[in-house]
Amino acid sequence: MRLERHDGVPDGGDKKYWLGIKLVPAFRNRQYTLAEKAGGPRALWESDHIALSGLGFTDKDVAETAALRAAIDLDEELEKLSVRGISIMTDEDEGFPQLLLDAPWHPKAFFIKGTLPACDASIAIVGSRHATLQGKAFAMELASALAAVGVMVVSGGARGIDTAAHTGALEAGGLTAAVLGCGLDLVYPPENRNLFAQIEERAALISEYPLGTQPFPRNFPARNRIVAGMCNGVIVVEAALKSGALITADFALEYGRDVFAAPGYSKSPMSKGANALIKQGAHLIESAQDVLDVLSLTGITLDQGEPLERLSGPEKDFLIQLGWEPKRFDEVTRNIPVDTATASVLLLTLEISGFVRRDIDGCYLRIK
């Protein structure tokens, strides 16, 4: 929705000044500190040479900033956002997430596409972009179970665990929000275009970065602090020892939020980060119920019904024999005493029912 002054001219109040500040590189890295020192975003935007010098700007920075401000029409920039369905949310808005407001170093303003719904709890699920099939399946299972009982799943929209978490929440008909490290007019990774469209319909896409901002690596640590700040807790599923997921966990600890980790095979590089967190005191989890138990979320309970009861006898027996390790089709038929045609029908039935998932390499994995 476009904000207007009484004379009918577009006006974003403080929001348009935050927009201007985010468009000026000299402001951007210290935008919130500078605005506070200057007396607010409008005061910073309108600061003259003397005021900017008092904020630590060099003469070169002052000259470049003045030239950029003169070239920027804030009303036109607001219109560019509006036509893309993007708005600006500040920490003075009623709908600003309370958990994020309570976190130190929270953003004073960010761009949003969609709507952040009110919910009783939010959980971040993060992990490796190079996740294994098992890791992605577990992230989907967690997200689906949590979203089904009203918990909003938050992640970073990246490949691997992030994508699996968003997908699981959507498949359960629940809420999920993505915090991106690029402008909201870009789609990164590009294969997530349809996923992002669904997230926007169900909840929101969020970014601190103005239109056109590329997904530079330096953007992601700042993105991760927002992911952690929006949530009651952070779940790490498969992460290397040096990874963005562990940065998110570190922010969560600084904010006093719970950190959870899924244990993995000790020799796998993708398990090193999560296992290290468990050694340091993170909650070891094997199911979504473990998360709910730690957070003591009142009024939220998981469906404890046995999903296998939905299957026929042959389907149930086949699934049990399939086990929990990924298998190619020839391994399935070699290890389970059924003919090829029967195995094909059973695998297809179990895949449609949501008990088995097949990856792009053709391996089958039991996921529940």
Is pLDDT larger for residue 251 or for residue 2? 251
Q: 139 and 56 in one domain? A: no
Q: What is the pLDDT confidence band of residue 319, given thresholds at 50, 70 and 90?
A: confident
Please report the pLDDT score of residue 307 as a whole number. Answer: 66
Condensed to tens digits (0 to 9), the pLDDT of residues 62-119 reads 999 999 999 999 999 999 999 999 999 999 999 999 999 999 889 999 999 999 998 8
Task: Say if 104 falls within a structural domain.
Answer: no
Please report the pLDDT score of residue 363 as a whole number. Answer: 85
Q: 323 and 177 in one domain? A: no
Name the helix (H) or strand (E) containing 192.
Answer: none
- Of 40, 218, 235, nearest to 125 by C-alpha is 235
Condensed to tens digits (0 to 9), the pLDDT of residues 14-25 reads 999 999 999 999
Measured between alpha carbons, how far is 248 from 152 in angstroms, rounded to an integer?
Answer: 17
Q: How many domains does the chain have?
A: 3
Q: 269 and 121 in one domain? A: yes
Task: Say if 101 falls within a structural domain.
Answer: no
Please report the pLDDT score of residue 82 as a whole number. Answer: 96
User: Does 325 score more than 90 pLDDT?
Assistant: no
Please report the pLDDT score of residue 332 as a whole number. Answer: 87
User: Does 327 score more than 80 pLDDT?
Assistant: yes
Please report the pLDDT score of residue 228 as a whole number. Answer: 98
Please report the pLDDT score of residue 6 as a whole number. Answer: 31
Task: Say if 56 falls within a structural domain.
Answer: yes
Query: What percent of the chain is modeled with pLDDT above 70?
Result: 93
Q: 314 and 284 in one domain? A: no
Please report the pLDDT score of residue 74 as a whole number. Answer: 96
- Domain hosting residue 150, numbered range: 113-295
Task: Say if 92 falls within a structural domain.
Answer: no
Q: 129 and 4 in one domain? A: no
User: Does 54 score more than 70 pLDDT?
Assistant: yes
Condensed to tens digits (0 to 9), the pLDDT of residues 328-344 reads 888 888 888 888 888 88
Q: What is the pLDDT confidence band of residue 217, given thresholds at 50, 70 and 90?
A: very high
Please report the pLDDT score of residue 110 as a whole number. Answer: 98
Q: 357 and 229 in one domain? A: no
Q: What is the pLDDT confidence band of residue 279, given thresholds at 50, 70 and 90?
A: very high
Q: 322 and 284 in one domain? A: no
Please report the pLDDT score of residue 166 as a whole number. Answer: 98
Please report the pLDDT score of residue 7 as a whole number. Answer: 33
User: Does 304 score more than 70 pLDDT?
Assistant: no
Task: Say if 301 falls within a structural domain.
Answer: no
Alpha helices by DSSP H, listed for the chain, are 14-23, 25-28, 31-38, 41-45, 49-54, 59-71, 74-83, 98-102, 133-148, 161-171, 193-202, 219-229, 244-254, 269-279, 288-295, 313-322, 329-335, 340-352
Please report the pLDDT score of residue 300 as a whole number. Answer: 62
Please report the pLDDT score of residue 313 as a whole number. Answer: 84
Measured between alpha carbons, how far is 286 from 301 in angstroms, rounded to an integer?
Answer: 16
Final residue before a domain boundary, out of 83, 105, 131: 83
Is pLDDT larger for residue 238 or for residue 308? 238
The b-or-e profile of 327-351 (16+ CB within 10 A means b, else e) is beeeebbeebebeeeebeebbebbe
Q: 289 and 177 in one domain? A: yes
Please report the pLDDT score of residue 8 as a whole number. Answer: 34
pTM: 0.84
The DSSP bridge partners found for residue 364 are 327, 358
Final residue before a domain boundary, out of 37, 65, 83: 83
User: Does 167 score more than 70 pLDDT?
Assistant: yes
User: Does 209 score more than 50 pLDDT?
Assistant: yes
- Of 359, 314, 304, nearest to 338 by C-alpha is 314
Q: 332 and 283 in one domain? A: no
Whichever domain contains 339, its CATH number is 1.10.10.10
Q: What is the pLDDT confidence band of residue 56, given thresholds at 50, 70 and 90?
A: very high
Measured between alpha carbons, how far is 175 from 265 in angstroms, rounded to an integer?
Answer: 31
Task: Say if 95 falls within a structural domain.
Answer: no
User: Does 141 score more than 70 pLDDT?
Assistant: yes
Please report the pLDDT score of residue 1 as a whole number. Answer: 28
Q: 140 and 161 in one domain? A: yes
Please report the pLDDT score of residue 322 as a whole number. Answer: 86
Final residue before a domain boundary, out of 68, 83, 98: 83
Whichever domain contains 252, its CATH number is 3.40.50.450
Please report the pLDDT score of residue 357 as a whole number. Answer: 82
Measured between alpha carbons, how far is 260 from 247 in angstroms, rounded to an integer?
Answer: 14
Q: 146 and 53 in one domain? A: no
Task: Say if 99 falls within a structural domain.
Answer: no
Please state, rounded to an integer, the average pLDDT across all residues of the chain. Answer: 90
Task: Say if 246 falls within a structural domain.
Answer: yes
Please report the pLDDT score of residue 333 as a whole number. Answer: 85
Q: 201 and 117 in one domain? A: yes
Please report the pLDDT score of residue 317 as a whole number. Answer: 85
